[in-house]
Amino acid sequence: MPDLMKGITSFRGDVFPQQAALYRQLAHEGQNPQALMISCADSRVMPEAITQSGPGELFVCRNAGNIVPPFSTMNGGVSSAIEYAVLALGVRDIIVCGHSECGAMKGLCCPHLLEPMPNVAAWLRHSHAAHSVVTQAYPQGLTEPELIRAVALENVLVQLDHLRTHPSVAAKLAQGEITLHGWFFDIETGGVLVYDGEKRGFVLPRDGDDLPVAIKGRLQPQLAAQTPIAAE
């Protein structure tokens, strides 16, 4: 792995010295990232590059398909990362970021590709709802690339729904202290589509636009048990 070896020596010798004070501060004072980003493990998707974030700015959790298992189904790395980011680090924004040309979404759409990979197939069951939405609610006749792209976009929304099943996230949403974002990175163009929960669609924000959000915490807490029950 000569390239990786070259990379770590170059980082240590050329890059790190320019940011040594920042790393020293982060080492002594701890991290205070502004957001948790859950993205695909795909090597072409680089959360820090897409958001132009530096050390200490982004808490990142990556896996095949940018999946968030629903809280009750498994206790694993993603659940732990969410809980830690929300409760220990106090992040106020969580981003689920899908992307174009996603191999996981392709596997979801072409199950025969997953036959030699039973673990991947089992993991992708957390995205089956996205596949069902596209195959049953979208117009018929999509080409395979269109199908995979649509599933990848819907998968972002499915994973946002799963996020809300995590108690730490649900409680912060009820207190208006957290905001959920759904993004989609287009590898070929470098564009990031952002889900606008009010418009119910993905938009491409322009420079200077306010960042659309998928799910806002309740700004004026309205708790179910405190809402007057209307008479029939």
Contact region with Zn ion (CB under 5 A), list: 37-45, 82-90, 108-116, 192-200: 37-45
Binder among 35, 37, 40, 94 for Zn ion (CB under 5 A): 40
Binding to Zn ion (CB under 5 A) within 81-120 occurs at: 102, 104
Residue with tokens 């119910």, as numbered in its chain: 200
Cβ closer to Zn ion: 109 or 178?
109
Instruction: Give the CA distances from residue 140 to residues 16, 69, 107, 157, 180, in Å, rounded to whole numbers and listed in that order.
Output: 53, 29, 20, 21, 31
Least spacing, CB of residue 87 vs Zn ion, in Å? 28
| Sign of the torsion angle spanned by Cα atoms 133, 50, 75, 169 | negative
Least spacing, CB of residue 115 vs Zn ion, in Å? 19
Instruction: Give the CA distances from residue 186 to residues 44, 136, 208, 209, 217, in Å, rounded to whole numbers and listed in that order.
Output: 10, 25, 20, 19, 27
Binder among 42, 51, 159, 181 for Zn ion (CB under 5 A): 42
40 assigned ligand-binding residue: yes
| Sign of the torsion angle spanned by Cα atoms 11, 13, 18, 19 | positive
Q: Which residues participate in the annotated binding site for Zn(2+)?
A: 40, 42, 99, 102
- Interface with Zn ion (CB under 5 A): 40, 42, 102, 104
Q: Which residues participate in the annotated binding site?
A: 40, 42, 99, 102
